[in-house]
Amino acid sequence: MDAAPVPEPTTAHHTYANGLTLLAERMDHVRSATFAFMVPAGFTREAPTQLGLASVLAELLTRGAGTHGSQELMTALDNLGTDRNESVGPFNLVMAAGTLGRNVPAALELYADILRRPHLPEDELGPVQELLTEDILGLEDSPQDLVMLELKKRYYPSPFNRNRFGVAEQIKALTIEDLRAYFAANVHAGGAILSVAGAVDFAALRDQVGELFGDWPGRPTTPLEPAPHTPESVHLTRDTQQTQIALAIPSAPFTDPDYYAARGAVGVLSGGMSARLFTEIREKRGLCYSVYASHDTVKDRAAVVCYAGTRTDRAQETLDVLIAELKRLRDGVTVEELDRLKASLKTSLVMQQESTGARASAMASDWFYLGRVRTLDETQAAVNGVDEAAILKYLDRFPVKDPTVVTLGPKALDVPI
């Protein structure tokens, strides 16, 4: 006998007078919960002379807050069994924690201190600066990461072309006053999102968040205006035996109706050993040791991003074949390719529904980009709508031409126009 269908979870939301939005979804099959604060203090808000400041702030926020010193705070969070993560993106500083559902109220009390009453201790600034400077220096030992960061720097307009790492010299020059000023200017309730998924009760959660954050000052967040920009290709000369190739072409952003068709096109190219780039470039021709494509979106703009790492003597051929495979999408896709990519997209969707962390993140992302949370049925319908006609329609809007190419190695390559 077939099991009764499981009703789709309902997402509840409440926006407080100060601009903070609470999103919550109860997942009855779990005993844990994850919450994620998304605060509009991302690295695009940094001054051009203080690149990396937001990442320094993210590290300092948990080093003492409220009545807890740095070690006391860590112990209190550990005693609640929290699995924590702090990160900085282009637009938001994100602080997330997973724990048992019954521990969420106590954990939220600690995060109210972290976000509203952090110590930002001056004696901790030096070690954080050293830690993040080492991360930047480590990029020289990771040419793949380096070429991808340089690609986004050349493809996107300022300030969207920045990255979380920043500039080592500017990080070293930061003072504690710089950190406190940035915190005061950017970490506030206006436009902030608290997303919670798992074993939670919305009514009790709404009341507690109101008590902890209802009087948190909030103000409108000034929209960011991108600077005039034309993407440019560049070669980074390095005395290496290999060449790294990174490429970007315009695509449909998250808010675009053709977003899932764009994901579908990328899924045909990449996402497994049977995908076109792996099959045609690595398996059939043996041109490279690594090749993939992904979809990157930054608010109202996006790109299909490709990477290949290869021997220097085969780099030009690798680039030529990579672009040829991008263009060959316009000739159509097979039923087998469509079935494979839909299975992949649906698997990701199912896994999201089974993970409190993934669901909390997805809800926050939906609200940030769309101003609402999509239902599972809506997303499922969008995935089911990805067919050959949808992909070809997307390619008509976003044809493969004038790629932005960044290469790293001993010799520059010819970039087709």
Rounded Cα distance between 264 and 274, Å, is 15
Statement to judge: residues 113 and 256 lie in one domain:
no
Rg (CA), the chain: 23
- State which of 148, 180, 213 marks the end of a domain: 213
For 93, phi and psi rounded to 5 degrees?
-95, 130
Rounded Cα distance between 320 and 255, Å, is 31
* Cβ–Cβ under 8 Å, residues 42 and 92: yes
Statement to judge: residues 135 and 194 lie in one domain:
yes
Token representation of residue 217: 């000052």
Residue 229 lies in a domain: no
Statement to judge: residues 130 and 271 lie in one domain:
no
Largest CA distance in the chain: 68
Residue 206 lies in a domain: yes
Q: Residues near 97 by Cβ (< 8 Å), separated by ≥ 6?
A: 34, 35, 77, 82, 83, 84, 85, 107, 111
Whole-number pLDDT of residue 9: 56
Q: In which residue ranges of the chain is pLDDT below 50? A: 1-8
Domain count, the chain: 2
Statement to judge: residues 209 and 238 lie in one domain:
no
Residue 3 lies in a domain: no
* Cβ–Cβ under 8 Å, residues 250 and 305: no
Query: Omega before 159 cis (within 30°)?
Result: yes
Question: What's the domain range around 243?
Answer: 234-409
Whole-number pLDDT of residue 271: 79
Statement to judge: residues 208 and 240 lie in one domain:
no
Residue 329 lies in a domain: yes
Statement to judge: residues 182 and 239 lie in one domain:
no
Whole-number pLDDT of residue 294: 96
Whole-number pLDDT of residue 194: 98
Q: Is 413 helix (H, G, I), strand (E, B) or coil?
A: coil
Q: Between the CA of residue 324 and those of 267, 329, 331, what are the distances in Å?
A: 16, 9, 11
Residue 310 lies in a domain: yes
Whole-number pLDDT of residue 353: 74
For 361, phi and psi rounded to 5 degrees?
-65, -45
Whole-number pLDDT of residue 363: 95
Q: Is 238 helix (H, G, I), strand (E, B) or coil?
A: coil
Statement to judge: residues 184 and 326 lie in one domain:
no
Rounded Cα distance between 25 and 36, Å, is 13
- State which of 164, 184, 213 marks the end of a domain: 213
* End-to-end CA, the chain: 60
Q: Which of 356, 35, 51 is nearest to 198 (CA)?
A: 356
**Length, in residues, of the chain:** 417
Residue 221 lies in a domain: no
Token representation of residue 387: 């067919």
Statement to judge: residues 199 and 337 lie in one domain:
no
Residue 83 lies in a domain: yes
Write the CATH number for 17.
Answer: 3.30.830.10
